[in-house]
Structure 1
């Protein structure tokens, strides 16, 4: 095992010397990135209103799908609980399914707040 670790370390050092260049070498070659977006034809419109509107629609769509999923899982958990027939393991399985549905329903209910929190990270 030690033999393979030594070989791997040697290959990593060799790779770093061959393939990784320092920023000074790139700067010496004349790389200019100050106008890179403009030179590539990408223009900044500065308008993000459409993106937020689209993402808002996506969040509502995911919440709607989650609502249907919750109903299905409630039925499945209820059927497991009702069909347990006195079997304690099946009864416990039904209660676990129903409790996880409640946790998932709370997360879906809070999806709009979670998405708002996630978009606020970049601000």
Structure 2
């Protein structure tokens, strides 16, 4: 899938890509990421996911595992590998979250579901 973020990544901002099992409200515990600019991506978690979950109820569960952080638009394309056991495709949610330089959440967008 591909997406153009609304407003892109503003100065010092970044993106979070999350994969979520909406039925169980769980994310993968481990995510692997590969990008054209490997120094501009990482997998893990941070406080921005907590803020996104509070602001957007449909993101319930994004604090239960790892997300992908992208710090530069020129890092694309970004490939994500994750294992979610016993999950139907129709239960998957992929979302993009715009995060400011101070960790503030500007927006979130559903990419799949």
TM-score, normalisation: structure 1: 0.19
Whose helix proportion is higher, 1 or 2? 1
Whose strand proportion is higher, 1 or 2? 2
